[in-house]
Structure 1
């Protein structure tokens, strides 16, 4: 029997959604370009973004607002943040810097995963029942 889920009592924070003619309150990615952002840190952030879980799939494909590259048609999440599939492209190829708070979030999530206590007993017991 599956374990009960924790109720979602907080909204998921969205990032990487860009200004459109119908929503001019969103940021413009060109305003967030940081040419001095270290490549190794950009790769670290982009790797995290690429490995999010699929939250939604859309019929149309998004294109990069800076170079017109096809950027996918899905939204990804880690359960705390939600971003478009192409956000890693903006980070890697255009040095679009995300809020520092998101970098802290990534670091904390990865540290939490590294510190998990590991238990193989469930797998050993339940694999025999298959």
Structure 2
């Protein structure tokens, strides 16, 4: 059985943060558009991204660099990666392909969650005490 582990003592990896005209050290999302990336896989990735835990909130929404729509004001995380709330939009609506390593990470996390042994005894004992 796969095991879910807490992240090691290390920084989270940034994902989906884009360069600006003033700072071009980060990628441009237009360079990562893959028109051949299948919709089913994009939906699967976007769903994962939309369900991250809130890691921070900022004043004012960012805008999509490709279509200018308001694209969220929070950062989300799964404890391993940290991404802006609007990353799911880039994936789903524009076909911005994320690294294969991240896609493998999603697959491994999904398999680990599916393989968890379930035990209802704690819940049965403690629900009555609520």
Tell me, yes or no, whether TM beats 0.5: yes
3-state SS of paired residue (2:20): coil
TM value normalised by structure 2: 0.92
Partner residue in 2 for 1:54: 54
Q: Which runs of 5+ in 2 are unaligned?
A: 1-5
Distance in 1, Cα, partners of 2:101 & 2:45: 12
Partner residue in 2 for 1:82: 82
Per-residue deviation, 1:51: 0.6
Partner residue in 2 for 1:16: 16
Distance in 1, Cα, partners of 2:120 & 2:110: 21
Distance in 2, Cα, partners of 1:32 & 1:78: 22
Distance in 1, Cα, partners of 2:74 & 2:50: 11
TM value normalised by structure 1: 0.92
3-state SS of paired residue (1:34): coil
Distance in 2, Cα, partners of 1:23 & 1:109: 33
Per-residue deviation, 1:8: 5.2
Partner residue in 2 for 1:109: 109
Note if contact 2:55-2:75 (Cα within 8 Å) is conserved in structure 1: yes
Give aligned pairs, total.
125
